Amino acid sequence: MTTDDPPLPNPTRRNVVWLTLQFVLRLVFAAWLRYRARAIENLPIEGGGLVLVNHQSFLDPLLAGLPLRRPISYLARDNLFRVPVVGWILRKTYVIPINRDAASTASLRNALRRMEHGFLVGVFPEGTRSVDDNIGEFKPGFVSLIRRAKVPVYPVGIAGAGDALPRGGFRLFCPPVRVVFGAPLCEERLAELRVKGREEELIQFARDAVVTCQREAQNWRDGTE
């Protein structure tokens, strides 16, 4: 932290904008998506952490943050901040702007600073929305956060968001959406994989955990578990 860094808000307290958005979306998502989530207790009520979420639609940040009693500070494309109303909401809900094509040192430092302050920071390691229910390959950008932050890493799996809000479309009637919050990744294994030269193993380890959560969410959604 430098003297130029603005003070950060309470990392476990939702502000008025967050609370209002959460209240409205709970009603909307319950009716539209028949939204349900489970294993929320895997995310602690305080303390910093990195949250890895699969990416199916623009709804994903809302779906992962909806059931929590604390905010998630997401990383999002900087061009979204220039959209009227949307940009204002992003700023008021602790979102960190990042250039997806050239992730800046400032964005990385900001994310690290927030985790050290006690925030949950959320990222979508696929880098873009998947074209189907399958999770795409993880981009390596999040590895720097895992290596430098030394905080717990939590996988989250979403199923059904792509059916509700697919690329270039919207469906009023769609199958239900389910979200599963996984247990934190094994710290001993993370410590082994944080060393230089084991990036691919670290990426695969993290991806496997998110895939497990997403498959559980999909089975729950399909009623096959």
Beta strands in 27-84 (DSSP E): 36-38, 49-53, 72-77
Burial 70-83 (b: 16+ CB within 10 A, else e): bbbbbbbebeeeee
Q: Domains, the chain, ranges and CATH?
A: 48-167+185-222 (3.40.1130.10)
Q: Is 205 within 8 Å of 185 (Cβ atoms)?
A: yes
pLDDT in tens, the chain (225 residues): 555 678 899 999 999 999 999 999 999 999 999 999 999 999 999 999 999 999 999 999 999 999 999 999 999 888 888 998 889 999 999 999 887 655 568 888 999 999 999 999 999 999 888 877 789 999 998 999 999 998 999 999 999 999 888 877 777 888 899 999 999 999 999 999 998 889 999 999 999 999 999 999 999 998 887
User: Which pTM was predicted?
Assistant: 0.93
Both tokens assigned to 90: 């992003």
